[in-house]
Amino acid sequence: MKYLIDTHVFLWFVSEDNKISSKAISLIKDSKNKIFFSAASAWELAIKTKLNRLKIKGDLESFIIEQLSINRFVPLSITISHCLYTEQLPRIHKDPFDRMIIAQSILEDLPLISADRKIRKYKTTVIW
């Protein structure tokens, strides 16, 4: 199966945070699954790092590249279609990064691994 990982789940998984559900851990660790990491997540992490709301050992680029490699996550680029689809989404979620990830989940038909309750109100499959 293919899945899209939300930004917070990515951080929890790579830091082995106990906030992550056992179901999410199992899906992510299953080598039969392909886990996609959105460019929107990288962008969100860059902004949070720049604003000192997130601390990463070393530089962010190396951290992300290393984690994608170690965990065999597949980068998912942002397309114009993804951007335009965010305009069609209901205004349930105001966070632009989450809206982009929701659009990608819907358009790419990727169930989204997320603990965010607001995302469950959209027409996409959320796994937690």
Tell how strand 112-113 and strand 34-38 pair up.
unpaired
Q: Give the CATH number of domain 2-127.
A: 3.40.50.1010
pLDDT digits (tens, 9 = 90+) for 78-120: 999 999 999 999 999 999 999 999 999 999 999 999 999 999 9
Domain ranges for the chain: 2-127
Instruction: Report pTM.
Output: 0.95
Q: Which of 61, 5, 64, 7 is nearest to 30 (CA)?
A: 5
